[in-house]
Amino acid sequence: MLTMEDIVREGHPVLREVANEVPLPPSEEDQKTLENMLQFIKNSQDDQIAEEYNLRPGVGLAAPQINVSKRMLAVHFVDFDDKQYSYGLINPKIVSHSVEKTYLTSGEGCLSVDRDVPGYVPRYARITVKGTDLDGNEVKLRLRGFAAIVFQHEIDHLNGIMFYDHINKDNPFKEPENATPADE
């Protein structure tokens, strides 16, 4: 099983690389890697397992974070309308997005960043994501609010972007233009 030892931290060059497309259908190895990433997220949300293996809780993980520079991400969370999201996605792509922005008033964190970086992280309020799931199906997801934020955080990792790259350097808690908080 994946543990925190497998997660690379900021400063590791893979976190600043643009990850490679995954040839489809995925190899046994790629399929297994993505299944392990999704299981890590689920384990991190299980109080007992998280404590036993000292896992930091997470709702998402991108393959570069385990030093695999491939376009794969896993997410597992319930959004603010109690809708469950649990996906392993290959070659995810944002095919459209709103002009309007959103953000978490609590800011963001990252399993590859062992420090707090305070500030609002402006993101698109609504996105449409296409990709291939763990069953080999083409999926098209219309996402808003918390779900849109989580998928954008993970897709950023596939493009070598860290959440704090979006924070206003001069005034981290400046209200982003044309934005509505997702968690209020």
How far, in Å, CA of 68 to CA of 6, rounded?
A: 10
45 makes contact, choosing from ligand NB4, Ni ion, none, with CB < 5 to 8 Å by partner type, with ligand NB4
CB of 63 to ligand NB4, least distance (A): 10
How far, in Å, CA of 144 to CA of 181, rounded?
A: 11
Residue 167 within binding range of Ni ion, rule CB under 5 A: no
**Contacts (CB under 6 A) with ligand NB4, residues 155-174:** 157
Among 22, 55, 127, 150, contact with ligand NB4 (rule: CB under 6 A): 150
Q: List b or e across 157-177, with b for residues whose CB sees 16 or more CB atoms inside 10 angstroms.
A: bbebbbbbebbeeeeeeeebe
Residue 45 within binding range of ligand NB4, rule CB under 6 A: yes
Reading the block at residue 33, the tokens are 């890697």
Residue 101 within binding range of ligand NB4, rule CB under 6 A: no
Q: Is 100 a catalytic residue?
A: no
Provide the annotated active-site residues. Answer: 154
